[in-house]
C-alpha cells in the first residue's frame, strides 16, 4: 500500500486478513504510531483504508469538480496547515467529507455526510475535530448569507448541494449558528473547503496527514474532550 496513491487495491493480497496486515505494516513504516493506543491506531488504519478505497472517486459525486476526493481532502488540509491552524483543525479539514465515503444516495438527496462523519470522529478525536466537521455544511449556509463574495465563488456543485442542504440561512439562523462552540473553526474550514478544488495543486502526501492524526492520539498527549 502506498498512502500517497491509495486509489488502487491491486497491490494488496486478495484475502482481507492479509490485506489488513499489509496496510498495518505499511502504516507502521510511514507513520510513528508509538504511544498511540491500539484501538486508536486501528482508527488511523481505518481512515487510511477509506481513502484507499474511495479517494479516487470524483469529489461531489456525479456533479464533478476538477479534483477527486483524496485530492480535495489533501488540499483542504494543506490550506489549513498553511494558515497555521492547530493540528485538530488540520485533521478536521482532512476528514470533513469522509461521511460521503460509505454511502451513495445520488446527487439529488442531502446525504447528511457531516453528521455521520462527526459521529464517528467524536469518540476518536473529540470535539475539536468532530464539531467543525459536523458544522461545515451549515457553515456554507451561513457564509452564503453573510459574505456575498463567498456566495459568488461557490462552484456549481456547491450551489447544487446548498439547495439540498436548506439554502442560505436566515438572519436568526446566522445568529444562532455563530453562537455555537466551534462555529468559527467551521466557518474557516468551509472557506478552505471551497478553495480546495484546484486541479494539479501540490500537497504533502496522505501519510503526512495520517501522522498528524497519530500525533493527536498519543497516550501522553492531552486528550481532546467534548466541549
Ligand atoms: Fe468538501
Q: How far apart (Å, rounded) are the C-alpha atoms in residues 13 and 93?
A: 31
Domain positions in the chain = 16-217
Which secondary-structure segment (H or E) carries 80? Answer: helix 69-82
Q: Which residues of the chain have pLDDT under 50?
A: 1, 3-8, 224, 226-227
pLDDT confidence of residue 222: 52
- Is residue 143 within 8 A of residue 167, CB to CB? The reply is no
143 CA distance to ligand 1 middle (Å): 15
26 CA distance to ligand 1 middle (Å): 27
pLDDT confidence of residue 106: 65
94 CA distance to ligand 1 middle (Å): 9
- Is residue 204 within 8 A of residue 38, CB to CB? The reply is no
Q: How far apart (Å, rounded) are the C-alpha atoms in residues 44 and 194?
A: 25
For the segment 79-102, what is each residue's pLDDT rounded down to a tens digit? Answer: 999 999 999 999 999 999 999 887
73 CA distance to ligand 1 middle (Å): 7
pTM (predicted TM-score): 0.84
pLDDT confidence of residue 187: 98
**Burial (0-12, 13-18, 19+ Cβ within 10 Å), 94:** buried
* Residue 213: C-alpha distances to residues 29, 40, 57, 125 (Å): 15, 10, 22, 8
69 CA distance to ligand 1 middle (Å): 8
CATH of 16-217, one of 1.10.3210.10, 3.40.50.2020, 3.40.630.10, 1.10.3720.10: 1.10.3210.10
pLDDT confidence of residue 191: 96
5 CA distance to ligand 1 middle (Å): 19
pLDDT confidence of residue 3: 47
All three cell numbers of 106, joined, read 445520488
75 CA distance to ligand 1 middle (Å): 10
What SS3 class is residue 156? helix
Amino acid at each position: 500500500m502506498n498512502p500517497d496513491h491509495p486509489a488502487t487495491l491491486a497491490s494488496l493480497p486478495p484475502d482481507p486478513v492479509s490485506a489488513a496486515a499489509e496496510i498495518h505494516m505499511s502504516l507502521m513504516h510511514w507513520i510513528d504510531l508509538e504511544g498511540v493506543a491500539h484501538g486508536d491506531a486501528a482508527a488511523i488504519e481505518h481512515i487510511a483504508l477509506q481513502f484507499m478505497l474511495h479517494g479516487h472517486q470524483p469529489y461531489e459525486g456525479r456533479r464533478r469538480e476538477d479534483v477527486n476526493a483524496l485530492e480535495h481532502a489533501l488540499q483542504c488540509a494543506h490550506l489549513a496547515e498553511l494558515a497555521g491552524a492547530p493540528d485538530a483543525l488540520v485533521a478536521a479539514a482532512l476528514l470533513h467529507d469522509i461521511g460521503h465515503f460509505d454511502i451513495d444516495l445520488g446527487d439529488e438527496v442531502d446525504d447528511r455526510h457531516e453528521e455521520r462523519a462527526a459521529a464517528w470522529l467524536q469518540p476518536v478525536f473529540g470535539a475539536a475535530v468532530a464539531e467543525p466537521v459536523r458544522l461545515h455544511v451549515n457553515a456554507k449556509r451561513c457564509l452564503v448569507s453573510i459574505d456575498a463574495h463567498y456566495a459568488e465563488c461557490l462552484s456549481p456543485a456547491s450551489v447544487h448541494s446548498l439547495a439540498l442542504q436548506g439554502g442560505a440561512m436566515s438572519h436568526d439562523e446566522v445568529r444562532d449558528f455563530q453562537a455555537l462552540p466551534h462555529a468559527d473553526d467551521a466557518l474557516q474550514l468551509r472557506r478552505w473547503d471551497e478553495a480546495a478544488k484546484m486541479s494539479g495543486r501540490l500537497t504533502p502526501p496522505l501519510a503526512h496527514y495520517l501522522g498528524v492524526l497519530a500525533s493527536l492520539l498519543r497516550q501522553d498527549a492531552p486528550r481532546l474532550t467534548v466541549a
